[in-house]
Amino acid sequence: MKTKTILAALLLSTVAAGASAETLRWARAGDSLTLDPHAQNEGPTHTLAHQIYEPLIIRDHSGAFQAALATDWAPKEGDPNVWVFNLRQGVTYHDGSDFTAEDVVFSINRAQSENSAMKELLTSITEVRAVDDHTVEFVTNGPNPILPANLTNLFMMDKTWTEANNATAVQDIAGGETTFASTNTNGTGPFQVVSREPDVKTVLSANESYWGKDEFQLDVTEIVYTPIQNAATRVAALLSGEVDFIQDVPVQDLGRVADTAGLVVKTAPQNRVIFFGMNMGDEDIRNDNVEGKNPLADARVRKAMSMAINRDAIKKVVMREQSQPAGMIAPPFVNGWDADMDASSTTDVEGAKALMADAGYGDGFSIQLDCPNDRYVNDEGICQAAVGMLAQIGVTVNLNAQPKAQHFPLIQNDETDFYMLGWGVPTYDSEYIFNFLVHTRGEERGSWNGTGYSNPDLDAKIVSLASETDLEARNATINDIWTVVQEETLYIPIHHQVLNWGMTEKVGTEVSPEDDPKFKFFKMN
């Protein structure tokens, strides 16, 4: 049985600490979509969760592994199908209850459930078992050499707290459900929630009982998080001193911010690709003017649309040189990235027109493009540029730009035919991309594959990656899969995103390639 102690006095003391000079006022374009740590696999959602909850392993701001709730991990001696994780002792949740192995078993099982957005990361796990209070074994369906990489955003929940509050089921975020876990938290992390108004403001205070007090900087004692969708307003807040740190300095304002006394801009490549997806699977699609057939089902049309996109112009005009044109939907950080594939996307309007005519669409067609306007750097601007570029080959695009909270369910619920998506790869391995974006959509994989693409042979190769220990053979399979993805023009890659963090001189941090600031690392000058 776990001890339960509500630390009321502690909560009062940490709220009082909010008036200190260590308050960090943080802003970005969009808010977390939920507080349920397993309900959405999305960057800003994970970023907020990392302040409150913790996984067994984290990545530091350089991208390297660092022990979190597990102190060490390794395959079990004599049994390559089992990973053994030794858990950190003396860790408590925000309500004072102990973190134990039963919480790990519960959390992994919860994250494997139907509504979880994290289940693709856990498909090789057949069983999780508690050996004792501080030892857990992960049993996999064949040896899985990259299992630890799949756990860096897999947050641990208090089994007793979750069950007591009827929150065992993961929130159905695509269905619009609200649950106790989506509005309340109880983590082991360095900060705890004081108040939250979604899309308005979230206030976090320092967890005075945090296990990592002797291991991390922990200069920040309070976080005031304010989503500011409008780019000009967000920059104005930094310039005026209303906020200390913004993750997404608009590219048009980089010089202005950098030249302002007391402010700093730090830039780094992000582990993320921006691209368009197309519904090629349906016989007929809803948001076009072609009756009885689907123009996107023809690979020639998909190829033509990709050839019409001038990525260099987007880089120069829309992104102000703050992007790297992409030819594949894998960032250079990722195992399986190929320089030749990434350089393969070239602009050829006349060639694209010829392909359209060859496919029977010489006169073009119209279609709706669904685009977020508060998720990626200049997301709506990229989509607006694509509208004009596609018009050159007869594709008339009606742009539907809206906040990510409305945009993402369109993809998850198969309600879009042409859409923007960005994909980061926290595992730094192509399997992550394939599991979510290429595998046939089903119960265990393909949850973000809104294309309708299904290839059983490719599916089998994707599944094999989780248990292939011959790295040379595994990489050959990864290359085979990418070859098919490229030949089919499964997606239209646009660019690798570049991060621009803006901050006052009092904030000390380097840019994380995952765009996930962990404030326990921040140094306040």
Pair 340, 302 in one domain:
yes
Question: Would you say residue 310 lies in a domain?
Answer: yes
Pair 106, 195 in one domain:
yes
State the residue range of the domain holding 172: 8-227+506-524
Question: Would you say residue 1 lies in a domain?
Answer: no
Question: Would you say residue 257 lies in a domain?
Answer: no
What pLDDT does residue 312 have? 98
Question: Would you say residue 260 lies in a domain?
Answer: no
Q: What is the reported pTM?
A: 0.91
CA–CA gap between residue 423 and residue 496 (Å, rounded)? 10
Pair 48, 85 in one domain:
yes
What pLDDT does residue 21 have? 52
CA–CA gap between residue 69 and residue 74 (Å, rounded)? 15
Pair 492, 363 in one domain:
yes
Taking alpha carbons only, the member of 522, 525, 523, 513 closest to residue 59 is 513
Pair 178, 277 in one domain:
no
Burial (CB count within 10 angstroms: exposed 0-12, middle 13-18, buried 19+), residue 452: buried
Question: Would you say residue 240 lies in a domain?
Answer: no
User: 180: which DSSP letter?
Assistant: H
Pair 211, 322 in one domain:
no
Question: Would you say residue 276 lies in a domain?
Answer: yes
Question: Would you say residue 88 lies in a domain?
Answer: yes
Pair 515, 421 in one domain:
no
511 neighbors 370 (Cβ within 8 angstroms): no
Tell me the CATH number at 34.
3.40.190.10
CA–CA gap between residue 228 and residue 500 (Å, rounded)? 16
What pLDDT does residue 443 have? 83
Q: How many residues does the chain have?
A: 525
97 neighbors 105 (Cβ within 8 angstroms): no
Taking alpha carbons only, the member of 367, 356, 365, 359 closest to residue 418 is 367
Q: CB-based contacts of 486: which residues, under 8 Å, 6+ apart?
A: 327, 328, 341, 344
Pair 129, 275 in one domain:
no
The helix-helix angle for 456-464 and 471-487 (nearest 10°) equals 150
Pair 195, 311 in one domain:
no
What pLDDT does residue 9 have? 30
Q: What share of the chain is helix, strand, coil (3-state, %, to 5)?
A: 30, 25, 45
For the record, the structure tokens of 321 come out as: 């040189």
CA–CA gap between residue 206 and residue 193 (Å, rounded)? 9
Domains identified in the chain, total number: 2
Pair 431, 288 in one domain:
yes
Pair 318, 364 in one domain:
yes
Instruction: Split the chain (525 residues) into runs of 10 and give each run's mean pLDDT.
Output: 33 35 92 97 97 97 94 96 98 98 98 95 97 98 94 98 98 93 98 98 98 96 97 97 96 96 96 98 95 97 98 97 97 97 96 98 98 96 98 98 96 96 97 98 93 97 94 97 98 97 97 96 95
Pair 304, 220 in one domain:
no
Tell me the CATH number at 464.
3.10.105.10
Question: Would you say residue 252 lies in a domain?
Answer: no
